[in-house]
Every structure is written in C-alpha cells, then in structure tokens.
C-alpha cells in the first residue's frame, strides 16, 4: 500500500522497475513512533524511472495521448501507452510553445478532473473540478504550452476528493523544456535520470493506517504521515558520483511542509545552489543552506558532491521547525481542546518534525565537474501594480478555513479581475491560524515582500523586504505563515478570449477540500 506507482509498475509487466522483493509492510495496527525515526533507514534504493513504467519520461509529440485514471485496490494511477511503451503516471515532457493533447479516461468509480498545476491554460483546460469527468467518461485536454521551462505537475481536482485522490497516487510530473533548460544541461553536462534527478516527496502512514480516511483532526489540520517517501520509496539511498547533480523536487504531500537541507554524516551542513522555483529557472543561482517547500511547490537545485569525496554520505533531510498550527478545535468539536496539542494518531507526526528523507552515497573517482553558470535565465519584469492592493484574508471561523470570510461555493460570485492589467494581492494570515500554501491557477506570480513574518523565517530572509530564496523566481504557490502578510504581484494579461474562471486556494489539500478556495474571474 505504500508504493503506489510501483505497485502499478509491477502489475504493468515492466520488469526493470521495482526490486524483486520489498520488505514486508509493518504490522498494521501496532504502528509505533519508532517507525518514524531515522533508525534502520536507507535500506531501499531510490527509484529511478527507466524507459517505461512509473514516472518514466514521455515526450509528448503531435499525437493525442490517452491517459486512463485507474484504480487497483487502494492505489490510483494514470496509465498510458505510447510507442509500444507502457507508462504509469508518466513524466510528460514538452517544449515551450508545443501543444498538449491528452485524453483523460476516467476508469475510476468516482468523478475526477485533471488539473495542470502551474500552467497557463483557459478554464476549459484547467480541470478545476467545476465540471468533473464522471466515471466512464473521457475528456480531451488540448492547449498550447505557454510556460517557461520548468517542473510542473498534473493532479486531480474534483472538489472534496482532491486530497484523497492525490494521496492515493493519481498525479505525475510535467517538464517544460526551453532554450535555457537546454543551455543549463549542456553547461553542467546533465543527463535526466542520471545526474539530473526528479524527486517527488510524499509522507505516508504505515500499513492499514495509510488508507485515506482522515480523522477530524486530519481534516482540520491536514493529513500527515510519519513515513517520508521519495519517488514512492521509504527513505531510500542513492549512489552518486563526486560531481554536481541537479535535483528537481516536488512536494506532493497533502499537508506537510519540508524544511529541506543537506548534511554530511558528521552533521556538517552541505550548502547547495537554488536555481529554480515553481515557474522555472532563476536569473542566477542563489547559495542556500536550506529552503522551505510547502505542498505543491517545486524547487530546482544543484548540489556538489565533489567536496564530500569518495566514500562519504550526504543526507537530504527536513529540519525541525515550529508548525504554528494554532487553531482551537473547540469551534469544531466542543471536547477536542487545542488542535496544536490534538491527539494525533500514532502513525502521524506533526508538521515540523525532523525527518531524514534520502541518503546519497558518494562513490567513484573524480571526473570533470563543470561549474555552475552565473546566468541561468531572464525573468519577466516584476509586474507594476496599477492600483491598490487587493486584500485576501486567511482565517478560521465557525470551524472552517476561509478566504475573505468565505468558504468555497462553485455557484458563488467570483472576485473579478480586469484582464490585461497587473494587481498586487496582499495575502494576510491571522495569528490564530496555520501556515497556508496559497496557490493561484492559471498565472505565475512574483513575491514582492513579506511582512511580520515569524521569527523562524528570519534566518532565511534575503534582502530587506523579507523575501526568502524561493520567493525570487516565478511562483504559483506561496507559503503564508500565521501572522504574516505576503504581497504578490500578478500580470493578468491573458491570451484567452472571453471570461475565464480560475481558483485561488490553499494547497494543504484538506484545507482545500474543506473549502479554503475562492473563485477568480478574469475578464
């Protein structure tokens, strides 16, 4: 149950995908916290996609691709066949300016919708869940790729069941290539699947507890597991050469934020260069010791294993942080007390707990290790605001997460934005709240500044406007801490004719499903 895509891979006749045998699932029911500790970790190797099977790269050509959403016991996945190869949750690879033509066939016993997270699409292709694909039906997505090179993803968006379907594995990566991406690969001599690795993070629970059935606490705070998986494998190891590697990382967890960092086995931190964010490459690399990665965010980084040397180890970890979940469940259930001390199931550990994620084993002798280019790309100019800030208050009242005091209703009047202009939005999170990973459909935005950030963000701040390294690029998802205000700038020029409906929501999927979502009309 823990290895969603790999399970499908094994069933899909591809032989090169999963190891022949896996350690047995931990005994269901007696899930102790020691399963969550890092002891005994790094026994399984990292799953690296091959030419077919789970997560394998599939270059989209001009022919339509059919992806079937299928269920196998508890696990869900997209399956596809192309050029005689069979794929499960393929990593779709497209060039900027090319066309995506994908038919999604819903072979699930429940409605679904496929959302292209981060991509500039019209409402028809947005898969926002307001017109779901019913069981047995098919929907043809077709649009031009208007985004810069970068790592995006596709995932289900049926309202109220997004969390459940994502947790059960129904999602995949989407790589957009452009000249800057090709130049970077040449400069660093990168090969996808070898020296360039895509890593999908998801936290799971052990055994039967991993069945998606959120308790009231989970529904309020988000679904947290205790077993961090990378590419579907629990705390794996991976052998690397003493050279630079590019890591493209998606946080596909329902609710957990990772405070990503790297350390040697003696505990010394290993710095890295942040080279990209949600919407593609930064203009120049930024040296970092750690970054926060909230649900749905992506980062692109380069880490150099050469200084570690032959025989050394580097652990990718999530460092401890204060989760700042400060919500009184009293308003949900009179007897529950304070949710920040809620009785969590033993198989869930709180947001902010330290986790070891992946171990790199540095082996082999030194070989050429080209340096990181000083310039990576050019970003579009920061949109200049043409009016007052639009305030968007993130709050909790009467047992519900809210945006501007409202809970999502697909029949409600949307907020209205004039096409062609730019706006600055002020995302203001109340003190008595939780961190919210705010995501806007259809547009990449820029982070202008952060104000009244919690103290724990101070070490991450770059420059005087409170921004952190991951705020420097194009973004579609931004984490807003309790008490914090984040100002974002959005360019609402759009190529699409007629009014378009998009969504602004929290990407903590339990918050989203519970209605922390707002309709946005661009016309």
Residues that bind Cu ion (CB under 5 A): 117, 436, 441, 506, 508, 511
Task: Specify the 3-state DSSP secondary structure of 461.
Answer: strand
Binding window for ligand C2O (CB under 6 A); candidates: 65-73, 255-263, 353-361, 502-510 = 502-510
Binding window for ligand C2O (CB under 6 A); candidates: 25-33, 141-149, 263-271, 501-509 = 501-509
- Range 83-112, binding ligand C2O (CB under 6 A): none
Between the two ends of the chain, the Cα-to-Cα distance in Å is 45
Q: Is 439 in the site for ligand C2O (CB under 6 A)?
A: yes
Dist. CA 89–CA 106, nearest whole Å = 14
Nearer to Cu ion, 6 or 438 (CB): 438
Dist. CA 255–CA 293, nearest whole Å = 11
Dist. CA 224–CA 344, nearest whole Å = 9
Binding partner selected for residue 436 from Cu ion, ligand C2O, none, CB under the kind-specific 5 to 8 Å limit: Cu ion
**Taking the complex as a whole, how short is the minimal distance between the CB of residue 477 and Cu ion, in angstroms?**
8
Q: Is 441 in the site for ligand C2O (CB under 6 A)?
A: yes
Location of structure tokens 């700038």: 489
Dist. CA 503–CA 68, nearest whole Å = 25
Binding residue count for ligand C2O, defined by CB under 6 A: 10
**Taking the complex as a whole, how short is the minimal distance between the CB of residue 392 and Cu ion, in angstroms?**
13
**Taking the complex as a whole, how short is the minimal distance between the CB of residue 498 and Cu ion, in angstroms?**
20
- Range 278-297, binding ligand C2O (CB under 6 A): 296
Task: Specify the 3-state DSSP secondary structure of 398.
Answer: coil
Nearer to ligand C2O, 157 or 246 (CB): 157
Question: Which of 282, 503, 516, 518 contacts ligand C2O by CB under 6 A?
Answer: 503
Report the DSSP pairing between strands 75-82 and 85-88: antiparallel
Length of the chain: 523
Nearest to 36 by CA among 199, 247, 225, 297: 225
**Taking the complex as a whole, how short is the minimal distance between the CB of residue 269 and ligand C2O, in angstroms?**
31
Nearest to 2 by CA among 156, 162, 209: 209
Nearer to Cu ion, 41 or 348 (CB): 348
**Taking the complex as a whole, how short is the minimal distance between the CB of residue 333 and ligand C2O, in angstroms?**
28
Dist. CA 308–CA 300, nearest whole Å = 21
Binding partner selected for residue 508 from ligand C2O, Cu ion, none, CB under the kind-specific 5 to 8 Å limit: Cu ion
**Taking the complex as a whole, how short is the minimal distance between the CB of residue 505 and ligand C2O, in angstroms?**
6
Q: Is 117 in the site for ligand C2O (CB under 6 A)?
A: yes
Q: Is 511 in the site for ligand C2O (CB under 6 A)?
A: no
Dist. CA 445–CA 471, nearest whole Å = 10
Nearer to ligand C2O, 2 or 115 (CB): 115
Nearer to ligand C2O, 244 or 439 (CB): 439
DSSP string for 481-521: -TT-EEEEEEE-----SS-EEEEEEESSHHHHHTT-EEEEE
Question: Which of 157, 402, 428, 450 contacts ligand C2O by CB under 6 A?
Answer: 157
CB neighbours of 522 closer than 8 A, spacing ≥ 6?
417, 418, 419, 442, 492, 494, 499, 500, 501, 502
HSE on the CB side for 136, CA within 13 Å? 0
Edge-to-edge strand ranges of the sheet holding 355-362? 237-240, 355-362, 313-318, 258-264, 290-293
Q: Is 115 in the site for ligand C2O (CB under 6 A)?
A: yes
Residue 50 CB neighbour total at 10 angstroms: 17
Nearer to ligand C2O, 57 or 115 (CB): 115
Dist. CA 120–CA 97, nearest whole Å = 12
Question: Which of 248, 505, 511, 519 contacts ligand C2O by CB under 6 A?
Answer: 505
Question: Which of 2, 3, 57, 155 contacts ligand C2O by CB under 6 A?
Answer: 155
Nearer to ligand C2O, 199 or 302 (CB): 199
Closest residue to Cu ion, based on beta-carbon distance: 506
Binding partner selected for residue 157 from ligand C2O, Cu ion, none, CB under the kind-specific 5 to 8 Å limit: ligand C2O
Nearer to Cu ion, 229 or 402 (CB): 402
- SS3 of 223-249: CCCCEEEECCEECCEEEECCCEEEEEE
Nearer to ligand C2O, 270 or 486 (CB): 486
**Taking the complex as a whole, how short is the minimal distance between the CB of residue 77 and ligand C2O, in angstroms?**
18
CB burial class (10 A; 0-12, 13-18, 19+) of residue 232? buried
**Taking the complex as a whole, how short is the minimal distance between the CB of residue 486 and Cu ion, in angstroms?**
13
Closest residue to ligand C2O, based on beta-carbon distance: 117
Binding partner selected for residue 511 from Cu ion, ligand C2O, none, CB under the kind-specific 5 to 8 Å limit: Cu ion
Binding site for ligand C2O (CB under 6 A): 115, 117, 155, 157, 296, 439, 441, 503, 505, 507
């Amino acid at each position: 149950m823990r290895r969603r895509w790999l399970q499908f891979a094994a069933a899909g006749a591809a032989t090169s995908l999963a190891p022949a045998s896996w350690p047995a699932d931990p005994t269901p029911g007696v899930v102790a916290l020691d399963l969550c500790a890092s002891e005994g970790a790094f026994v399984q190797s990292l799953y690296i996609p091959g030419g077919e099977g789970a997560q394998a790269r599939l270059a989209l050509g001009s022919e339509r691709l059919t992806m079937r959403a299928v269920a196998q016991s508890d696990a869900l996945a997209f399956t596809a066949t192309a050029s005689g190869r069979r794929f499960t949750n393929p990593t779709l690879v497209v060039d900027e300016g090319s066309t995506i033509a994908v038919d999604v066939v819903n072979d699930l016993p429940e409605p679904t919708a496929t959302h292209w997270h981060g991509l500039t699409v019209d409402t028809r292709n947005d898969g926002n869940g307001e017109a779901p694909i019913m069981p047995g039906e098919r929907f043809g997505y077709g649009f031009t790729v208007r985004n810069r090179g970068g790592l995006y993803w596709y995932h289900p968006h049926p309202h109220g069941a997004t969390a459940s379907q994502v947790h059960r594995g129904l999602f995949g990566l989407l790589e957009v290539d452009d000249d800057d991406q090709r130049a970077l690969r040449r400069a660093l001599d990168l090969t996808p699947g070898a020296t360039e690795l895509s890593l999908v993070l998801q936290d799971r629970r052990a055994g039967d507890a991993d069945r998606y059935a959120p308790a009231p606490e989970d529904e309020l705070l988000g679904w947290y597991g205790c077993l961090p998986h990378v590419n579907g494998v629990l705390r794996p190891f991976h052998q690397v050469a003493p050279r630079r590697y590019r890591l493209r990382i998606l946080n596909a967890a329902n609710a957990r934020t990772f405070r990503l960092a790297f350390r040697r086995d003696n505990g010394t931190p290993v710095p890295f260069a942040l080279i990209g964010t949600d919407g593609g490459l930064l203009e120049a690399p930024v040296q970092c010791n750690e970054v926060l990665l909230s649900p749905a965010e992506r980062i692109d980084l380069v880490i150099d294993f050469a200084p570690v040397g032959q025989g050394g180890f580097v652990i990718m970890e999530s460092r401890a942080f204060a989760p700042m979940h400060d919500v009184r469940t009293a308003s949900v259930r009179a007897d529950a007390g304070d949710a920040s001390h809620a009785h969590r199931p033993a198989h869930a550990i709180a947001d902010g707990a330290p986790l070891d994620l992946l171990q790199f084993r540095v082996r082999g002798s030194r070989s050429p290790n080209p340096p990181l280019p000083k310039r990576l790309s050019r970003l579009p100019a920061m949109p200049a605001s043409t009016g007052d800030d639009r305030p968007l208050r993130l709050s909790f009242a009467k047992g519900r997460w809210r945006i501007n005091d409202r809970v999502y209703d697909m029949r409600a009047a949307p907020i209205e934005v004039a096409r062609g202009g730019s706006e600055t939005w002020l995302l203001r999170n109340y003190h008595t709240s939780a961190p919210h990973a705010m995501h806007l459909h259809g547009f990449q935005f820029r982070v202008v500044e952060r104000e009244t950030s919690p103290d724990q963000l101070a070490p991450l701040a770059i420059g005087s406007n409170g921004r952190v390294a991951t705020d420097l690029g194009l973004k579609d998802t931004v984490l807003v801490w309790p008490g914090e205000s984040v100002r974002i700038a959005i360019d609402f020029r759009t190529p699409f004719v007629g009014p378009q409906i998009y969504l602004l929501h929290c990407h903590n999927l339990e918050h989203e499903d519970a209605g922390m979502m707002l309709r946005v009309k661009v016309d």
